[in-house]
Structure 1
């Protein structure tokens, strides 16, 4: 996942001025963003189906990127990757930069680490599931793995009672009733069996021929299996294993579609034996959802378009993972999206059959910014009174008419129309085409419960907004319930 970071900002946040320079262009970000596979395979396991149905009810989740990159406030991991779309200070040797970046472990001491604040803010926002980054591509572990010393519990925070950060994050969100997901990067650029120090590291991929050195790749496979096993066995009940780094994949999944995405993928593939990993994970966590991003097949239980909303309804399970600001992790001065924009995006995504996974990055001290908490509260105020039109819903055949989006209750008995308010101009009437309410039925405001006067003119439905709605401050969107004809 990626973020454009300007040099002026980096100078303010990084201790090593010249070495921290990173400028990712818009074009570069597009090269890095995970694409969405067009193929989908429904799971066969009844427990997975049950879990997937439960997940589809939640609609709104939080993904938390937190790691070494929070210390200087820069893009997560990607600045140590040597690809031509990534810019760094040209006066700093590449290896020097990598050592500086990995050396941030000595400075990462989040003495105000407060996962209860995170979980409380997510709950207030109306979120219902969590994905926490246990390890990003840089290989720094936010859990107390026994497979590596490169971890937060082996540094200045190591003597803290909550040094096993992931455990306390998961526990805090469980207390708030969240479904729990563990993000895990399949590539590990710090591991010598992925980026072998014998060779240069030209791009995001393994930097040696795994056919020539199968024993080394086997060590990496064992390392990956053992780390995921730790997460599956030592961190309580898990609902989702969210695997990032889709270029690490079996050769048979490298299709023309994948090649067209732009990033180089070795034609030999990088097979880490997902069947073995999935079998272990589901023995430890029956029904767990496997989200092997972009690798279509039995281990991509839902799809994950990144930083965008698909332009059409998708009938299989999916989520858009997007950022609250411009960054996945913490960047000082990052501009957060208005609550209204997030709400409008959520409404569109849900009407198209998906869920929104919103990225929020804690500060290096272990707390969320006051601005992020405030923004999440604003989002939650709307969901608190309009959530019936979002949670536990499914799509309708006609899902959109202009600025109005449609959902239906899971049991199919109630339909919802959600009219987005643009430019803070509350209209006197709301109108849409199609999805006609049953003749003589009652339309109600989801937020207030009051009846709404309406009429049908041909295929058009016209609602007269009562004074209570027309004068509502920061309305953002109006949700209405009705029985369809």
Structure 2
């Protein structure tokens, strides 16, 4: 996906100037109160899934590459995921400690996981014939998970979308008789259908980089969606500016929050952001895909929270509809850790320390939570907190810790073997609200 995301960034540079929220009609942006509640959730499940799992290749991107277009576009005729169980998927998310869920209702390949009235290229044309989006929405309500929908701006299958194959340099991948204005009307119809029928908490857009999608279309679409649901959260991928794999972040964009991909965002106390990242290597299911270790998973979550962001962690269910058992186990292990240490993640702010390889920090009230990943010779040495008195220090779910305080350092003694090898949390209680402490940068990479 890194090469793909790099290509996307190049396309963004070539095809259009970024628009910003300042160009929207006043008063329609999602309120700070709604966004604060979203950012308090901290942890969500991303699901990339569809007929392409029958080939084990990447969703959307493998069309006309690993999978010939004619084959890719007819996979739906064989798609019969008899082991799909929305309740089990959402229960797994709940047991992982996830608070929201995003399903790829329509990816770049154009296939729809709900019975859309505006195309026959949808789940009802498969042998399965069940409304995946609707079943997940219902299960999310049962488990108290916020239900969200992914929808691609581009659609390499739709006859009115002008591009069929971005990898074709001969021009054969351009639909010369397509009418983008008809496709935009199709988008609006489908999005109204999704918002009206499933009441999503958030819409996660993707695919705005191709030249046929313009700044004016993006601005109009955001404004249109707000007429459907005032408090609908909308990510920044309707517009041309967003953080991808190689970008360091964007100062301005169109939408409610930034979306760095396959990397941890930087500490930012002003702009809401969410890292989207895979639990394995591919977004959609791949046989024997390499999965991240439990330590990497927990460190990633802690560093994202420490940067003041959310983590949208992706799984790719199998063609039969089941989630790989190994992934279920890993997610439940994360949930077990969060049952112990969730106070250091949920409803917190990042900082004041910038995340680094040794530790990250979150804060709430008069507490700073230090997420310790390694301690040199049994000590964690961190910069002092200017003008702040530490009233108490202790392990979360553990005993007191005796600090050594110097003019410029805090030295925290820890056992040679950390109590939790994945993330040991040390609590510092301060004499003032922790959020009042200015961010403390460091030169170490995360």
User: How many angstroms does 1:32 deviate by?
Assistant: 4.7
Aligned to 1:284: 228
Question: The residue matched to 1:127 in structure 2 has which SS?
Answer: coil
C-alpha change, 1:103 and 1:380, in structure 2 (3 Å) is same
Aligned to 1:242: 204
Aligned to 1:295: 240
Q: How many residues align?
A: 412
C-alpha change, 1:437 and 1:358, in structure 2 (3 Å) is farther
Aligned to 1:457: 406
Measure, in 1, the Cα distance between the counterparts of 2:54 and 2:253.
37
User: How many angstroms does 1:220 deviate by?
Assistant: 0.8
Measure, in 2, the Cα distance between the counterparts of 1:414 and 1:295.
38
Unaligned runs of 5+ in 2: 242-251, 432-446
User: How many angstroms does 1:33 deviate by?
Assistant: 7.1
- State which of 126, 150, 174 in structure 2 corresponds to 1:183: 150
| 1:167 aligned onto 2:129 | no
Aligned to 2:382: 432
Measure, in 2, the Cα distance between the counterparts of 1:185 and 1:440.
48
C-alpha change, 1:55 and 1:206, in structure 2 (3 Å) is farther
Question: The residue matched to 2:179 in structure 1 has which SS?
Answer: helix
User: What TM-score do the two structures reach when normalised by structure 1?
Assistant: 0.76
Aligned to 1:232: 195
Measure, in 1, the Cα distance between the counterparts of 2:280 and 2:421.
22
Contact kept in structure 1, 2:105 and 2:149, CA below 8 Å: yes
Measure, in 2, the Cα distance between the counterparts of 1:295 and 1:205.
25
Aligned to 1:476: 422
1:21-58 alpha-carbon deviations (Å, 9 max, x no partner): xxxxx645632579999996489447532221111101
Aligned to 2:54: 71
Measure, in 2, the Cα distance between the counterparts of 1:113 and 1:174.
18
Measure, in 2, the Cα distance between the counterparts of 1:300 and 1:246.
13
Give the stretch that moved more between structures: 169-178 or 358-367.
169-178
Contact kept in structure 2, 1:340 and 1:379, CA below 8 Å: no
Contact kept in structure 2, 1:240 and 1:288, CA below 8 Å: yes
Measure, in 1, the Cα distance between the counterparts of 2:208 and 2:10.
7
Measure, in 2, the Cα distance between the counterparts of 1:187 and 1:39.
18
1:112-138 alpha-carbon deviations (Å, 9 max, x no partner): 111111111111211111111001111
1:186-240 alpha-carbon deviations (Å, 9 max, x no partner): 111111001478x99659998356xxx6x822211111110111001011x3211
Unaligned runs of 5+ in 1: 3-25, 82-86, 90-96, 249-264
C-alpha change, 1:144 and 1:57, in structure 2 (3 Å) is same
What RMSD in Å do the two structures reach over aligned CA positions? 3.2
- State which of 280, 283, 305 in structure 1 corresponds to 2:260: 305
User: What TM-score do the two structures reach when normalised by structure 2?
Assistant: 0.83
Aligned to 2:85: 114
C-alpha change, 1:194 and 1:36, in structure 2 (3 Å) is closer
Measure, in 1, the Cα distance between the counterparts of 2:172 and 2:386.
53
Contact kept in structure 2, 1:438 and 1:483, CA below 8 Å: no
Aligned to 1:92: none
